[in-house]
Amino acid sequence: MRTFLQNLLKEIDYTSKKLGLLILFFIGMPFLGMWFTGAYYSEYVNDVPIAVLDEDNSSLSRQIIEYFDQNERYNVDYYASSREELEQLINERKVYMGLYIPPDLNNNIKLGNQSQVLVLTDGTNVIIGNNVYAGAAQIVQMVSGGAAIQVLQAKGSLEAKMAMNVAVPFGFEERMLYDSKLTYMNYLIYGIIAVFLQQLMLSSMATLLSRNPEEVATKDTFTQVAAKMTVGAVCLIASGSFTIFLLHKKFHLIFNGNVIVALILSFLFAVAISGPTLILFSLTKKKTRFTQIAYMLSLPTFLTCGYVWPVDQMPLLLAIPVKILWPLMNYARAFDEVMIKGLPFATVSQNVVELLVYSLIMLPIGIKCFKKSFYKNEKREETVQIVNEENLNL
């Protein structure tokens, strides 16, 4: 313990004198967090340009168009003259949605015949596509229900309430928990913060290890690695906590977090990611090479950690190796749900256990690789130096 504390004080002293490390620890996370969150400040995708092809030209079709034009999600910017032109406007990226109203829509509804309004959406952008389609479906269903009620009233001389009960025999009620607006900001930001912690922990450990790799590998390797790991983890978790506080206050990021559980998960993840850090640094031996590989890993590790796509929907041949080789899968989604739902420790206990097991396996492997790469045998060095001097004298 005494050796660990001595090494810890050395790392704190070194860190406090390095401006680059201080920026990495205390500026990087808040700056990146505010930057990324600012991009998702709007709760919805609004004012999406759309085009309309109205071949019915009735009071009903004009009412449908008016509903779209008055909705904050849409701007009716173009009126097409044919279906080909409607699709061309989408292909040319002038609009993201096309609304086709077929001929005789109003007459068919009055006669009791089924008719359909076609909604064409640009599926190349899933965020815009999902938003405009969901809003369009809601508007069309609302207008359709109103038209059906009017027809029933006219045909059967039904009262308004009875006509509504016949046209809409049951209602649909939804209750969205935690994030009722389904905002992209709340969905993405905690996962992005998890990746920030990963990447900054990798960078900080590489910086601290590159200072004295031979010394670390030769003497008290475990305590020196533990000291560097502790400094990096504590500084980055403190910085991450401040970042979440800022985002909650400035952008109203949802926060119902169980803080203690979140801190436990974050510290265990920081310890776990130190294992592959040691292995990668042992293989590259240079901070610049290490940094190149570390940045290259950020995107694939995020996409395969179960945050943006469920783990149970991934092929087992991909999910199992990722989980064995990289710890983000046991952290990102669990951290997100702890922060938004306030999950208790028991719910994420499996993630905690798996992070512990990962650390107990990968850290010894990492330390062994590091010692093998940087261990300096002083006696051997002295022998080689003496032999070289003798050869020079001869």
DSSP 188-206: HHHHHHHHHHHHHHHHHHH
Pairing of strands 97-101, 118-121: antiparallel
Q: What does the radius of gyration of the chain's CA atoms come to, in whole angstroms?
A: 30
Q: Are 105 and 61 in contact (CB under 8 A)?
A: yes
Token duo for residue 350: 């499996």
pTM: 0.82
Confidence of residue 149 (pLDDT cuts 50, 70, 90): low
Confidence of residue 155 (pLDDT cuts 50, 70, 90): low
Q: How far, in Å, CA of 164 to CA of 145, rounded? A: 8
pLDDT at 382 (0 to 100): 46
Nearby residues of 306 by Cβ (< 8 Å), 6 or more positions away: 314, 319, 329, 332, 333
Q: Are 48 and 134 in contact (CB under 8 A)?
A: no
Helix-strand-coil split of the chain, %, nearest 5: 70, 5, 25
Q: Could you report the per-residue pLDDT of 128-148, keeping only the tens digit for each?
A: 888 788 788 778 777 776 665
Q: Which residue has the tokens 């990102």?
A: 332
User: Is pLDDT at 229 greater than 90 in this prediction?
Assistant: yes
In the chain the beta strands, taken as DSSP E runs, fall at 48-54, 74-79, 97-101, 118-121
DSSP reduced 3-state for 74: strand
Pairing of strands 74-79, 118-121: unpaired
Domain spans of the chain? 7-39+183-381, 48-167
Q: How far, in Å, CA of 126 to CA of 358, rounded? A: 35
How long a stretch of residues is the chain? 394
Q: Could you report the per-residue pLDDT of 348-370, keeping only the tens digit for each?
A: 999 999 999 999 999 999 999 99
pLDDT at 177 (0 to 100): 76
DSSP code, position 342:
-
Q: How far, in Å, CA of 66 to CA of 314, rounded? A: 43
Query: Of the candidates 325, 337, 200, which has an alpha carbon nearest to the alpha carbon of residue 265?
Result: 337
Q: Are 217 and 194 in contact (CB under 8 A)?
A: no
Sheet hosting strand 48-54, strand order edge to edge:
74-79, 48-54, 97-101, 118-121
Q: Could you report the per-residue pLDDT of 41-97, keeping only the tens digit for each?
A: 776 778 899 999 999 999 888 988 998 999 888 999 999 999 999 999 999 989 999
Q: Are 228 and 209 in contact (CB under 8 A)?
A: yes
Token duo for residue 215: 């010394």
DSSP code, position 173:
-
User: Is pLDDT at 11 greater than 60 in this prediction?
Assistant: yes
In 109-206 the beta strands, taken as DSSP E runs, fall at 118-121
Q: 48-167: which CATH topology?
A: D-Maltodextrin-Binding Protein; domain 2 (3.40.190)
User: Is pLDDT at 387 greater than 50 in this prediction?
Assistant: no
Q: How far, in Å, CA of 302 to CA of 252, rounded? A: 24
User: Is pLDDT at 209 greater than 90 in this prediction?
Assistant: yes
pLDDT at 105 (0 to 100): 85
